Chains A and B, each alone.
Chain A
Amino acid sequence: MKITLDHVTKRFPNRNKKIHEDVIAVNDFTFEIPDGKLIGLLGPSGCGKSTTLNLISGLEMPSAGRIYFGDTDVTDLPAENRGVGLVFQNYALYPHLTVLDNITFPLGNLRGAEKLTKEQMRAKATEVAKLVQISELMERRPSELSGGQQQRVAIARALVKMPSVLLLDEPLSNLDARLRLQTREELARIQKETGITTIFVTHDQEEAMSISDLIVVMKDGVIHQIGKPQEVYDKPCNLFVAKFLGTPPINVFEGRVKGGKLYIGDDAVLDVKLAENEADGKDASDKKSKDGEREVWVGIRPEGFIPDENGPLSCSLQKIEVMGRDTSVVSTHPAFAGTTIRSIIPSEDTAGIGGETVRFRLKPAKVCIFDRETEKTIEFTQP
């Protein structure tokens, strides 16, 4: 089912009673989630992801705006009538019930014409149990299951009533690293097999990027960017999104654009032609007219560096970390905004690196330019 959020806002009264201003957890969200896709809500903790999920499930009501399932307005509809499946971060499995009873629990709520017999319930439970591969655990109690198994039971419980939407709150955060990898593939498979529109919340960008059809990047209750994972990674709309996505993170330098060239420190690293299409274009051209140059942030992805003895960017080499397939080159530069620059180089290309300095050439596609003040992306082309 398609889900639409139309100018949805959620305010909470401030917990600090002295401050009367409300806390805005979700600020004017408008987006559409297409039917049958896997969507990742991504953002640092406290950014309003879980609130968004609760709003969609109906556990919380928006302060303003409308929510639609398909074409139906469900804004004021209580959670129980929305037909959503919800998986909690800590799974919330009923500890006193067996796996089978946990899975059939939602079915026991059906009444009247929809009421199911014990056998029908069991049949449905067996079916979803097969889907999430826990058929052999049906008689166990949650306390006898591993974290990954509990997770699957929770998903089965959410799926058994054939929800219109499946919502997962930090589904992988309670699992260890190896299980997390395995479970997220599992999640993607289950979603593909059932075709149920699935929204999951995570603060782990890698998790979101690896399995989502679409990711929504949020911060402080505001949506920053929506798009396919690769799109968002390659063309972040601002510095925050660029920094938030990717490990190791993007390397940010202080830079300036002058006379069609992008400078980092005194090194002219790229020939660029800025597109003057932003809202603050006028402001920018003012600056430009003053001294013909524009202050910017330059973001370079770790894989955007190519070692080159004649390359324009000169950094002082700190150390080289061999990681097998790739090598991580750690260096510093006076204009770098953090402490150390981390670049990822295929191991076979590292032969010439050594000594005090290392020089790089840049891959233009891996370079992003942001306005120094607004931190918004400035599009550029290479002449």
Chain B
Amino acid sequence: MKQSKYKGWLYLLPAIIFLGVFMVYPLIDVIVYSFEEGYNFVSQTSTGTGLYNYRYVLRDTYFVQALKNTFVLVIITVPVSTGLALLISLALSSVKPLRNLFQTVYFLPYVTNTLAVGLVFMVLFKKTEYSDGMINLLIHFFGGETVDFIDGPHWAKMLVMCIYTVWIVLPFKILILTSALASVKEDYYKAARVDGTRPSRIFFRITLPMISPMIFYLIITGFIGAFKAYSDEVALFGTDLNSAGMNTMVGYIYDMLYGNSGGYPSFASAAALILFAVVFTITCINLMVSRNNVHY
């Protein structure tokens, strides 16, 4: 009997070992790293402790650029994708024939390799010596000025990045919102219909409040996801994001760790902790706002 008292730990042991080595220890270690000055990767020695790593990172123009890019991406893609997903979900839930087909189609981007499809977007937007690319031809057709979206001005690159991000994140949001909409009981709509409620009033007074928890959930996960954007950018602009001016915060961390500019785990750690602080703060703000606005 006494033996079986601790048997539970036996079942947990593999999980605890793996989590300990690859999650808990790194968590402590990353904080240590971030305060170790002049850490040498090869000899694993440092010259001292202090805030130098943070100071360096915050003054690094690449980091500032990455921070700006990430914020722009977050500010644009989260509202746009959530709003668009809401529109599509509303449309989806008010039709019956072909609904399944549409749902399947809308979900496709979720199961694709972001790196792979990113290449397609690159091809669509890129200007080459042979062709201006699909999108530019469209712009030209409507009388606009063509622009190189992949190697051109910064705003154009940001635009492609936002479009691709929205395209990638939509499926998840549509899925969540359609099931949220489906979970609103039919009786509420019947009651509203019998009372002669206008569609807009039904939407703002019944549907929206009832699915507001899910919308806030999407906004929070959307913020977190957008702050961690990285591989989409690699797909569009290549691995050298710094010189393209398109780096993100996560990209900066990896570049500090690895590759041509890598070998500085201390700087990477400091940047990662800054990122974590930013995400944590924003999530807290989100939660506070949602507590005041989400009913029940």
Partner-B contacts on A (CB < 8 A): 57-59, 78-82, 84-86, 88, 90, 92, 94-97, 105-106, 108-109, 141, 143, 157, 161
Contact = CB atoms under 8 A, between A and B. Distances in A.
Contact of B195 (A78, A90, A109, A143): A109
A109 B190 contact: no
A315 to B, nearest CB: 49
Given A80-B196, A92-B188, A92-B191, 19 more contacts: A78-B193, A80-B195, A81-B196, A82-B194, A86-B191, A86-B194, A94-B188, A94-B206, A95-B296, A97-B205, A105-B192, A105-B195, A105-B197, A105-B205, A106-B195, A108-B201, A109-B198, A109-B201, A141-B296
Interface residues of B, number: 19
A59 B190 contact: yes
A322 B210 CA distance: 53
A213 B192 CA distance: 29
B187 interface: yes
B191 A79 contact: no
Nearest to B195: A106
B96 interface: no
Contacts of B185: 90, 92
A59 B194 contact: yes
Interface in B145-201: 185, 187-188, 190-198, 201
Interface centre among B188, B190, B198 (most CB of A within 10 A): B190
Contacts of A96: 209-210, 295-296
A80 B190 contact: no
Contacts of A95: 210, 295-296
B194 to A, nearest CB: 5
A88 B190 contact: yes
Contacts of B195: 80, 105-106, 109, 161
Interface of B: 185, 187-188, 190-198, 201, 205-206, 209-210, 295-296
Contacts of B194: 57-59, 79-80, 82, 84-86
Contacts of A94: 188, 205-206, 209-210
Interface centre among A90, A96, A108 (most CB of B within 10 A): A96
14 contacts: A59-B190, A59-B194, A81-B196, A85-B194, A86-B194, A88-B187, A92-B185, A92-B191, A96-B295, A97-B205, A105-B205, A106-B197, A109-B195, A109-B197
A133 B196 CA distance: 26
A80 B201 contact: no
A307 B288 CA distance: 75
Contacts of A79: 190, 193-194, 196
A84 B193 CA distance: 10
Contacts of A108: 201, 205
Contacts of A86: 190-191, 194
Contacts of B196: 79-81, 106, 109
Contacts of A105: 192, 195, 197, 205
Contacts of A106: 195-197
A57 B189 CA distance: 13
Interface centre among A85, A94, A108, A161 (most CB of B within 10 A): A94
Nearest to A86: B194
A330 B209 CA distance: 57
B207 to A, nearest CB: 11
Contacts of A143: 296
Nearest to B296: A95
A88 B187 CA distance: 7
A74 B127 CA distance: 63
Contacts of A97: 205, 209
Nearest to B208: A96
Contacts of A88: 187, 190-191
A141 B190 CA distance: 20
A161 B296 CA distance: 28
Nearest to B197: A109
When A and B form their complex, which 4 residue pairs have the shortest distance between CB atoms, in order from nearest? A80-B196, A96-B295, A92-B187, A106-B195
A80 B192 CA distance: 8
Contacts of B209: 94, 96-97
Nearest to B294: A96
A92 B184 CA distance: 10
A363 B10 CA distance: 77
Contacts of B205: 94, 97, 105, 108
Nearest to A107: B195
B287 to A, nearest CB: 19
Nearest to B196: A80
Contacts of B295: 95-96
B191 to A, nearest CB: 5
